[in-house]
């Protein structure tokens, strides 16, 4: 019979080949193909559980096959909120359940949404910053105007200065697109007190006629309203000709609409003339556009009036930036964006449309909805897509903060790393930091690690490409530490090759590394073939990396089960090797029966030890093992070599089998195996 010691070492040193052989087995290949073909059809937890083959494939992949029967329990696991420390799955001691739940996105995670929580928070921050920036810009414009207006010597010089001209147009409510510059220049040269000046002969002279027309139009509106009221009252009278009255009401409503539009148009014309007269009176230019000697373009009083008019014209900007209105807009946006399920819904929801456009600095009143739709349906990974033809970063920002496909339907967020993966890496980092800390250092180390984790979460949100990621060595080192790797031993050039690998190709650079953690790191990020951030790929309830993880886990579980059918000790060793990096304390070992058995066997401790109080057991674990050593693959291998040899001793003794010459080396005191003896065995195996 082949010993546990040699069987485990053979499998451990030829793991990829062993997994490939398992993968090629007809039954394993058949189940993997079925899972790949059907998991994308799953929409709910019930869908998964109703399909026996999918459900059992998934539970086996995460070592929970023996719990597959407990569907009510497993449903609660899958429906748990992983970000809530009080949720059902987070209260379970066995970490396998959390790993199982994290592999699926039935609650939260990478679902098609108009905005992720991070995107919503980013847009709110952008909205606040934009509103404050707009107020600051207005203050800057007023300061500039006050400083420069004294240097103006002619009407043309004023109009040729874009910043001053725009300030004046805003202050006096003039639409530059409707009035030629020459007209405005003539107004600036006018003297409102001179009846023969341009502003009076061309505009003010019309006021009498316009006011008369306005009075008539207002009278017509009143008459139409009265007729509508009279006809409406007659409808309820006995013998009323209802059809005829309804026709007359419709005719008067048509007249009312026409008269109302006329009133509005006349008011606009009269208002414009008044603004022209005010504009002419606010400046001191002569009829030729020059200034009399020693005279400024505006008096101090008129400068003050102009600034007041400018501020009044920007009242909406100031109002939007007030804390109360800003808080109200944010509250309405948060509630409304959750209901947006398409681009059409986006443009049809004012609380979302106005807020989002305002956040990126676009004016909802003038922006074309057709343009906004095309922007939101653009492919940000295609440099030829519509959004980039506009040559305006504001539109790109808008498209990045929402998730719609080319048909205007919801899709997954455009993020470098899903929030669940960010959270897992952050937690792993904190655990790794605490692993090397003494009891006295624990509190300070934890606080600093949590600050580092927060910084990581913020930094990942700004990553737009592989280049961005690799350029941020602080982020890279954080990830490596979280994965139990030494940043000093991993070069940026090496990681560049890892991230350029095709993870679906078993022969790619990342997949051929002896340490699978590098492929795992690349798998948690979401870059396209060009290295740019892409939409999170989903297969039903699973992200791409979780799908690959599930299939890899299934192979590993199949290998361990098959080895266990021949020799349970080999299965125990392979299981411990797989879980070692996740062990953070003695209690992690004691909470897992398989890990506990490996520990007791390795150090020749009696099974009756399991009946001791848990704290006493933990002291034994800490006495015999250094938990931090379990993050070192070489030290784990040494420990498992010792376990496999001890397993053979225990089982040969319990079954009465004759010992091999190799195992006779371990006979002697009952205290366990000495390091020198263990070294001798290791040397024998290497020959």
Give per-residue pLDDT as tens, 595-638: 999 999 999 999 888 889 999 999 999 899 888 888 888 899 99
Q: Which pLDDT belongs to residue 653?
A: 54
Q: Which pLDDT belongs to residue 674?
A: 40
- C-alpha–C-alpha distance, residues 416 and 72, integer Å: 35
Closest CA to 570 of 673, 664, 632, 645: 645
Q: Which pLDDT belongs to residue 687?
A: 37
Q: What is the pTM of this model?
A: 0.60
Burial 85-122 (b: 16+ CB within 10 A, else e): eebbbeebeebbbbbbbbbbbbbbbbbbbbbbebbbeb
Q: Which pLDDT belongs to residue 679?
A: 38
Pairing of strands 542-543, 538-539: antiparallel
CB count, 10 Å around CB of 586? 21
- The segments of the chain whose pLDDT lies below 70 read 1, 107-111, 536, 653-687
Q: Which token pair is 17?
A: 């080949």
pLDDT tens, residue by residue, 637-668 = 999 999 999 999 888 754 444 444 333 333 33
Q: Which pLDDT belongs to residue 310?
A: 97
Alpha helices (H) along 461-592: 466-471, 473-482, 492-499, 517-523, 544-566, 568-579, 586-590
- C-alpha–C-alpha distance, residues 52 and 507, integer Å: 32
Burial 490-506 (b: 16+ CB within 10 A, else e): beeeebbebbebebeee
Closest CA to 564 of 122, 173, 65, 159: 65
- C-alpha–C-alpha distance, residues 529 and 505, integer Å: 13
Residue whose tokens read 């929402």? 402
Q: Which token pair is 659?
A: 């010992």
- C-alpha–C-alpha distance, residues 359 and 129, integer Å: 8
First to last CA, the chain: 20
Phi then psi dihedrals of residue 493, to 5 deg: -65, -40
Q: Are the CB atoms for 275 and 179 separated by under 8 Å?
A: no
Alpha helices (H) along 338-471: 343-347, 350-360, 369-376, 386-389, 393-400, 419-435, 442-460, 466-471
CB count, 10 Å around CB of 44? 13
Q: Are the CB atoms for 416 and 524 separated by under 8 Å?
A: no
Q: Which token pair is 462?
A: 């700004």
Which positions ≥6 away from 188 have C-beta within 8 Å? 155, 158, 159, 279, 280, 283, 285, 289
Helix axis angle, 675-686 relative to 633-655, nearest 10°?
Answer: 100
Tell which CATH architecture fits domain 4-136: Orthogonal Bundle (1.10)
- Residue 538 three-state SS: strand
Q: Are the CB atoms for 105 and 125 separated by under 8 Å?
A: no
Q: Are the CB atoms for 28 and 22 separated by under 8 Å?
A: yes
Q: Which token pair is 417?
A: 């790393």
- Residue 409 three-state SS: strand
């Amino acid at each position: 019979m082949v010993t546990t010691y040699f069987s485990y070492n053979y499998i451990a040193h030829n793991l990829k080949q062993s997994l490939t052989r398992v993968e090629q087995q007809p039954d394993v290949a058949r189940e993997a193909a079925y899972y790949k073909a059907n998991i994308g059809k799953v929409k709910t937890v019930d869908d998964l559980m109703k399909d026996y083959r999918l459900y059992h494939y998934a539970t086996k992949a995460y070592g929970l096959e023996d719990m597959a029967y407990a569907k009510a329990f497993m449903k609660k696991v899958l429906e748990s909120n992983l970000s809530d420390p009080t949720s059902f799955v987070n209260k379970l001691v066995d970490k396998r359940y959390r790993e199982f739940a994290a592999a699926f996105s039935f609650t939260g995670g990478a679902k098609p949404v108009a905005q992720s929580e991070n995107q919503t928070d980013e847009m709110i921050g952008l909205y606040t910053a934009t509103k404050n920036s707009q107020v600051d810009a207005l203050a800057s414009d007023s300061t500039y105007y006050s400083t420069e207006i004294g240097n103006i010597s002619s009407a043309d010089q004023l109009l040729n200065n874009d910043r001053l001209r725009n300030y004046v147009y805003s202050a006096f409510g003039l639409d530059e697109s409707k009035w030629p510059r020459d007209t405005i220049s003539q107004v600036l040269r006018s003297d409102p007190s001179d009846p023969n000046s341009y502003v009076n002969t061309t505009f003010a002279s019309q006021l009498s006629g316009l006011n008369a027309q306005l009075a008539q139009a207002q009278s017509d509106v009143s008459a139409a309203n009265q007729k509508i009221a009279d006809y409406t009252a007659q409808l309820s009278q006995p013998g009323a000709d209802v059809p005829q009255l309804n026709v007359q009401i419709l005719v008067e409503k048509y007249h009312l609409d026409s008269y109302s539009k006329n009133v509005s148009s006349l008011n606009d014309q009269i208002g414009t003339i008044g603004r022209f007269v005010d504009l002419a009176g606010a400046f001191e230019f002569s009829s030729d556009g020059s200034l009399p000697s020693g005279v400024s373009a505006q008096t101090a009083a008129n400068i003050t009036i102009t600034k007041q008019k400018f501020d009044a014209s920007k009242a909406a900007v100031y109002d939007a930036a007030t804390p109360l209105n800003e808080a109200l807009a944010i509250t309405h946006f948060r509630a409304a964006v959750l209901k947006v399920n398409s681009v059409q819904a986006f443009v049809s929801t004012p609380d979302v449309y106005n807020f989002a456009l305002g956040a990126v600095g676009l004016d909802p009143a003038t922006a074309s909805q057709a343009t906004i739709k095309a922007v939101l349906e653009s492919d940000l990974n295609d440099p030829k897509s519509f959004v980039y033809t506009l040559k305006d970063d504001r539109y790109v920002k808008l498209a990045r903060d929402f998730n719609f496909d080319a048909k205007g339907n919801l899709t997954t967020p455009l993020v470098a790393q899903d929030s669940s993966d960010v959270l897992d890496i952050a937690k792993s980092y904190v655990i790794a930091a605490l692993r090397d800390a003494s009891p006295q250092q624990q509190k300070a180390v934890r606080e600093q690690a949590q600050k580092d984790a927060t910084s990581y979460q913020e930094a990942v949100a700004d990553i737009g490409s592989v280049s961005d990621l690799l350029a941020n060595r602080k982020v890279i080192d954080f990830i490596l530490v979280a994965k139990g790797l030494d940043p000093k031993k991993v070069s940026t050039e090496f990681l560049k090759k890892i991230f350029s690998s095709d993870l679906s190709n078993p022969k790619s650079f990342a997949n051929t590394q002896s340490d699978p953690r590098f492929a795992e790191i690349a798998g948690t990020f979401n870059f396209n073939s060009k290295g740019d951030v892409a939409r999170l790929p989903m297969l039903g309830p699973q992200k791409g990396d979780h799908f690959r993880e599930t299939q890899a886990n299934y192979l590993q579980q199949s290998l361990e089960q098959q080895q266990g059918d021949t020799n349970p000790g080999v299965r125990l060793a392979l299981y411990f090797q797989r879980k070692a990096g996740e062990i953070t304390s003695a209690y992690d070992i004691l909470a897992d029966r398989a890990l506990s058995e490996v520990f007791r066997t390795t150090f020749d401790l009696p099974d009756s030890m399991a009946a001791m109080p848990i704290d006493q057991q933990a002291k034994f674990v800490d006495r015999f093992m250094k938990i931090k050593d379990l993050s070192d693959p070489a030290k784990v291998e040494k420990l498992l070599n010792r376990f496999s040899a001890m397993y053979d001793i225990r089982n040969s003794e319990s079954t009465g089998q004759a010992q091999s010459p190799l195992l006779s080396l371990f006979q002697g005191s009952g205290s366990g195996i000495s390091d020198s003896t263990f070294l001798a065995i290791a040397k024998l195996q290497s020959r």
